[in-house]
Structure 1
Amino acid sequence: MTIVTACTMDCGDACSLIVDSEKKTVRGNPNHPFTKGFCCKKGSRYFERLEAEDRIVTPLIREDGIFREASWDEALGLVAARLDAARAVPESILHIHGHGYRGILAKASSVFFNRLGASAYSGSVCDDTGITASERDFGVLHHNDPEDILNADRVINWGRDMTRCSIHQLALIQKARKKGTEVLTVSPGGDGTPEFSDVNVVIRPGTDRFLAAAVLKLYLEAGDLNPWVLNRTANWPALRGLIDGLKFTDLCAACEVPASDVEMLYDWYADTGRVATVIGWGLQRHVFGGENVRFINALAMVSGNIGIAGGGAYFNISSGRNLGSWDHLVKGGKQSATRREFWIGDLAGELEKADPTVDFIWVDGHNVVNQVPDCLAVAQAFARPFVVVVDGFMNDTAMQADVILPPAMMFEREDVLGSFVHNCVNHCAPAVSPPGRCRPDFDIVSDLGRRLADPVVLPDAETCVREGLKKGDISYGELVDMGFVKVNHPQVAFENMRFGHPDGLYRFPEDLHPEPGRDPDYPLQLLTLVSGKYLHTQIPASQQRGVPVVWVSKRNPAWGALDPARDAYLVTPIGAMQVKVETAEDLHPRAVIVRRGGWMKYGHVANVVIQPRKTDMAGGIAYYSQPCRLENR
């Protein structure tokens, strides 16, 4: 039997899928305007995850350091009792929900713990820095329709490795290339971008703002400026004064890009024709990540490529912009206007200094212990509170739990979600039954809420879905029948140069901060890049045997100094981890690449040696600004 359902994983492609529940196969929905009949290996192999031998399928309670099986009644009874006790001081409760599970119903735990007045976290492990940067520029988070890239004469891909993170965007790029569109990629290298690029420019990681500023400098020197474009900005004199005061050679030196490559990039923007700019989701993971995004947006704007077909700057749209909330339908508790927040990037330090202390932690949709910096310290910080983890695998976060509640997973539960790339809203219909005692997250939270001494009662799931669809004026019946609905938004964002700020004008950045100097003791830069095989930490144990691999250029000063007969270690100021060193072509000579997602229990996660470090906007985590070295021991 085939079912039209959808992927709810943390990926912008948000595929509509056809699942054969008997043959256990997954393929892309050919009727979906973005999925177009194919999906990535992460989705097509998802039954391997559903049927994994190590999947947790019954509630577990820790006793004397050992987990034992329990009934739902016993497990939720224990959790409710501990939660009732903690409610005397609501701030002593901490809720952590990630994007490992997204959708209208996925918001249940966030709505529930908000009603309890629980503490939450601030900041982001992902793209909020770039989102905030884009909102400061454009006034609203929007970009051209993904299909509009087919109208571009040239594409500047600024750091997005579509071979690993968005195969449907890659398909559009490849289709555009067949029509004659040229693609130039700017990145530190060591990725799959040469596969779809005509030209690759290698840049020092995290210095993209200087390269964009250098191209802007060439625009000023050439006098190649469109008065109409500049009149649609609120602060052009400030940016012009900033760029005027900078030397072209200094900007080239800061980003370590030859002047000839900068001039080539200027030519790509300045020649006749339309230029689309695609901004990678890693640029914001640096100390000045927001500034990186803002200067690239500024270059797209000054070059006259905003507000036109075939142009635009693509970073993100909000995956929830077509969906509304249903929290006002909840009975019990009190909706909290303000809540205590802990910065997610230094969770261990935040918990240590918390007053009042945190006594109860609930984690769902997030392998948080694994995914934040200094994760060994986070694991230790989780030892004191009572910890509940909703997860199907004994990952680094689940290992710290007092109670583990096994959720139904994708294809086993219903939800509705949007995309941060396209404008379709997808229905994730149940295609198979959950194994053992696994239950949908929504049902778990609903059951828990009714068990409290002062109950918090959620509406039924269908009511929540129907309420969430009202914002986009989406028919529930049509959505269920089709499996998706495309919500109409303008094909071209900011047409006629009308922006989202109250005055309708664009905003340029007004500061350009220097890159932190290299530490002579840690002269290399660690980049924990996305994997092409697995989504974040959803990696089977069988794929984490042995020593993790890091990649460097043969021009990296550490490569020639390492003795291949001795063990190699990746070292930072807070620790070291054993690695195997391999080489990658065209990688920046100071960069060290490791693929993210490995588990601490197997010695495969680099976050154990990454220090808590904030980005310049939205409390993001500057993972990619981590200095390091490689050495033998």
Structure 2
Amino acid sequence: MPIITACTMDCGDACSLLVDPDARTVRGNPKHPFTKGFCCKKGGRYFERLDADERITTPLTKINGRFVEATWDEAMGLIARRLDAARQHPETILHIHGHGYRGVLAKASSILFQALGASTTRGALCDNTGITASIMDFGALDHNDPEDILCASRIVNWGRDLSRCSVHQQALTARARKQGTEVLTISPGGDGAAEFSDMTIRVRPGTDRFLAAAVIKLFLEAGDLNPWVLTRTANWPALRGLIDGRTFHDLCRACDVTAQDAETVYDWYADPGNVATLLGWGLQRHVFGGENVRFINAVAMLSGNVGISGGGAYYNISSGRNLGTWTHLVQGGHPCKTRRALLLNDLGAELRRADPPVDFVWIDGHNVVNQVPDCLAAAEAMQRPFVVVVDGFMHDTAMLADVILPPAFMFEREDVLGSFVHNCVNHCAAAVPPRGLCRPDFDIVTELGSRLAEPIILPDAETCLTEGLKQSGIALDELREHGFVKVGHPRVAFSGMVFAHPDGLYRFPEHLSPEPRRDQDHPLQLLTLVRGESLHSQIPEADQAGFPTVWIAKDCPAFAALDPARDAYLVTPAGTMRVEVQIAPGLHPDTVIMRRGGWMKYGHNANVIIEPRMTDMGEGCAYYSQPCRLENR
């Protein structure tokens, strides 16, 4: 009989799933209001990950440079001794936790190391820049209910790859189109968006703020702004001054969009009817990514499409907003109010200059060495401390560990989690027993805390789950019975244009920064975009044979210069890697696409040659501002 469980991977769809443990099949829960009976192929094929031959299912310790199997008692005893020694100077302990595993119990390691006063990380590798931008605009992170998009007259998909990052938002968009809603996609291209759109407009990557500013310029020139909307804003004169100081044609030139296309975007927002705006989860991965998000939000606001049904700007909600914490139930430890935080975006350099140096590192839910820019520097810096990695595969981070602890994966452990797209809290039930000697992360962390010379005692899992649900008033038994509960939030965010700032008013951006000067030796721009088949670095090793593929446009300047009979190389100021080159129709000619997450040990990781760059807000990582070129050697 199928068991109701849920996906805990780093995806906003947060699907409720029906798992048949005997047939080892997965399908979407038809009763879930967002999942609606289907899921992506990443979730549908998850048993391939659970059953993979290369999965690590017993603790491993490194002796004389080689991994050997160990018992849990041996591995945990070794870790506890090393952690006790480092605990005399808590800042020499570093905890790195990622979103590879999310949930109420997934917070256990963060809570334990907080109680130890350990160092942590700051900055973000994904969406924090856009989150910060949205909070600056609206005062809080919120958007309309996902299904409210069906009430839109038109949808502007500004940069979201619906074919790879959210199959359920793609399905909602398809339903809207069947109802007669038109869809306009704005992106650098190469994403298959034409299949889901009535019209596409190509923009130079990273310059979306200029296109948005050009649209605002047209609103000004037409005298087409609703005076009441302006009364709901706190700083309209500042934005108007920015726009007045630039010509429409200069703004179009900055984003490489024709005047006609910019006018088309204006028409989509200015014509009668409600317009919903989807913001892509890559817009923020540029040096001025925060401005990109803020100017697009400003278009939605000025056109009167915020705070209404069928409108809204969809970026993110917090996946934890319907859940509480259980930190206060922990016994023992001496948490510090001011913990040392190392910048994740430049992890190698941060570890090298850390004073006092880091002696002990615990990494869970994160193939961090693979994911950060300049990952060779991070790998080198990890050679010094004692490193514990909680993971089930010998990826780039695990290879550097002194101890590898094999966790139970989803379907093998219980947890409760939310979504950063919808408002359902899902129950992730244990549908099958953990493979081999694998253990749930919560059990691993609980035992570690109890083994310390000065123990830190965590509550039992049942107590943590119950406490985490109190905020939303959900009973754990009810959640276990139904598999999910939808938490009540207004269907329309910021209804009546009342915003979450103390004065209730919207905030416009007050800066429009020029693009960084282009590197003549590296005239192209590298975008490391999401995959359709795998999530980030959760890629089967067998799929990483040969050389990685990059995609360019046929009118890319590099295409004519490349000799297909010779080896092709992707080159940045940070290094060179061998690649195979293919053509992507409709892609902007200055763009090189490479799918993210490939492993260093197979020569598939672009982060080897991506330089650490900071975004303009939220301490984000500007992966997509990496200049590059293609050449034969």
Aligned residue for 1:284, secondary structure, equals: coil
User: Which residue in 2 is equivalent to 1:343?
Assistant: 343
- Which residue identity is paired with 1:314? Y
* Per-residue CA distance 1:544-590 (angstroms, 9 max, x = gap): 00010000001100011011111110000110000000000000000
Q: Kindly indicate whether residue 367 of structure 2 is the aligned counterpart of residue 367 of structure 1.
A: yes
User: Which residue in 2 is equivalent to 1:194?
Assistant: 194
* Per-residue CA distance 1:226-282 (angstroms, 9 max, x = gap): 011100000011111111111111100100000000001000000000000000000
* Per-residue CA distance 1:606-625 (angstroms, 9 max, x = gap): 00000000000111000000
Shift of 1:338: 1.4
Query: How far apart are the structure 1 equivalents of 2:462 and 2:505?
Result: 41
User: Which residue in 2 is equivalent to 1:382?
Assistant: 382
Shift of 1:418: 0.2
User: Which residue in 1 is equivalent to 2:74?
Assistant: 74
User: Which residue in 1 is equivalent to 2:589?
Assistant: 589
Aligned residue for 1:393, secondary structure, equals: coil
User: Which residue in 2 is equivalent to 1:560?
Assistant: 560
* Per-residue CA distance 1:504-527 (angstroms, 9 max, x = gap): 000000100000121000000000
Quote the RMSD (CA, aligned, Å). 0.5
* Per-residue CA distance 1:60-83 (angstroms, 9 max, x = gap): 000000000000000000000000
Query: How far apart are the structure 2 equivalents of 1:81 and 1:194?
Result: 57
Aligned residue for 1:31, secondary structure, equals: coil
Query: How far apart are the structure 2 equivalents of 1:334 and 1:261?
Result: 59
Correspondences of 1:114-513 after superposition (within 5 Å)? 114-513=114-513
Gaps of 5+ in 2: none
TM-score (norm 2): 1.00
Aligned residue for 2:472, secondary structure, equals: coil
Aligned residue for 1:165, secondary structure, equals: coil
Shift of 1:540: 0.5
Query: How far apart are the structure 2 equivalents of 1:463 and 1:228?
Result: 50
Aligned residue for 1:520, secondary structure, equals: coil
User: Which residue in 2 is equivalent to 1:14?
Assistant: 14
Shift of 1:387: 0.2
Shift of 1:206: 0.2
Query: How far apart are the structure 2 equivalents of 1:101 and 1:616?
Result: 28
Query: How far apart are the structure 2 equivalents of 1:496 and 1:173?
Result: 25
- Which residue identity is paired with 1:615? T
State percent identity of aligned pairs: 72
Query: How far apart are the structure 2 equivalents of 1:51 and 1:101?
Result: 18
Shift of 1:195: 1.3
Query: How far apart are the structure 1 equivalents of 2:517 and 2:261?
Result: 23
Query: How far apart are the structure 1 equivalents of 2:517 and 2:180?
Result: 41
- Which residue identity is paired with 1:259? A
Query: How far apart are the structure 2 equivalents of 1:335 and 1:348?
Result: 26
Aligned residue for 1:163, secondary structure, equals: coil
Query: How far apart are the structure 2 equivalents of 1:44 and 1:556?
Result: 37
* Per-residue CA distance 1:62-121 (angstroms, 9 max, x = gap): 000000000000000000000000001100000000000000000000000000010000
Shift of 1:477: 1.2
User: Which residue in 2 is equivalent to 1:536?
Assistant: 536
Query: How far apart are the structure 2 equivalents of 1:589 and 1:298?
Result: 28
Shift of 1:396: 0.2
Query: How far apart are the structure 1 equivalents of 2:138 and 2:114?
Result: 31
Query: How far apart are the structure 2 equivalents of 1:462 and 1:347?
Result: 36
Aligned residue for 2:114, secondary structure, equals: helix
Shift of 1:334: 2.1
User: Which residue in 1 is equivalent to 2:576?
Assistant: 576
User: Which residue in 2 is equivalent to 1:85?
Assistant: 85
- Which residue identity is paired with 2:483? G
User: Which residue in 2 is equivalent to 1:518?
Assistant: 518
Aligned residue for 2:592, secondary structure, equals: strand
Aligned residue for 1:113, secondary structure, equals: helix
User: Which residue in 2 is equivalent to 1:34?
Assistant: 34
- Which residue identity is paired with 2:267? D
Query: How far apart are the structure 2 equivalents of 1:377 and 1:497?
Result: 47
- Which residue identity is paired with 1:554? K
Shift of 1:336: 2.7
Query: How far apart are the structure 2 equivalents of 1:632 and 1:114?
Result: 50
* Per-residue CA distance 1:443-471 (angstroms, 9 max, x = gap): 00000000000001000001000000001
Query: How far apart are the structure 2 equivalents of 1:504 and 1:465?
Result: 35
* Per-residue CA distance 1:461-487 (angstroms, 9 max, x = gap): 010000000011111111000000000
Query: How far apart are the structure 1 equivalents of 2:527 and 2:241?
Result: 34
Aligned residue for 2:546, secondary structure, equals: coil
Aligned residue for 1:126, secondary structure, equals: coil
User: Which residue in 1 is equivalent to 2:603?
Assistant: 603
Aligned residue for 1:342, secondary structure, equals: strand
- Which residue identity is paired with 2:201? V
* Per-residue CA distance 1:143-200 (angstroms, 9 max, x = gap): 0000000000000000001110000000000000000000000000000211110111
Aligned residue for 2:542, secondary structure, equals: helix
- Which residue identity is paired with 2:113? F
* Per-residue CA distance 1:7-55 (angstroms, 9 max, x = gap): 0000000000000000000000000000000000000000000000000
Query: How far apart are the structure 1 equivalents of 2:337 and 2:318?
Result: 22
Query: How far apart are the structure 2 equivalents of 1:460 and 1:370?
Result: 33
User: Which residue in 2 is equivalent to 1:56?
Assistant: 56
Query: How far apart are the structure 2 equivalents of 1:195 and 1:453?
Result: 60
Query: How far apart are the structure 1 equivalents of 2:519 and 2:91?
Result: 39
Query: How far apart are the structure 1 equivalents of 2:174 and 2:122?
Result: 38
Aligned residue for 2:164, secondary structure, equals: helix
Aligned residue for 1:4, secondary structure, equals: strand
Shift of 1:2: 1.4
* Per-residue CA distance 1:281-336 (angstroms, 9 max, x = gap): 00000000000000000000000000000000000000000000001000010233
Aligned residue for 1:361, secondary structure, equals: strand
Aligned residue for 2:225, secondary structure, equals: coil
- Which residue identity is paired with 1:103? G
Aligned residue for 2:109, secondary structure, equals: helix
Query: How far apart are the structure 2 equivalents of 1:313 and 1:119?
Result: 36
Runs of 4+ in 1 over 4 A off after TM superposition: none
- Which residue identity is paired with 1:32? H
Query: How far apart are the structure 1 equivalents of 2:192 and 2:7?
Result: 24
Q: How many pairs were matched up?
A: 633
Aligned residue for 2:95, secondary structure, equals: strand
Query: How far apart are the structure 2 equivalents of 1:46 and 1:171?
Result: 21
- Which residue identity is paired with 1:494? F
- Which residue identity is paired with 2:251? L
Gaps of 5+ in 1: none
Aligned residue for 1:564, secondary structure, equals: coil
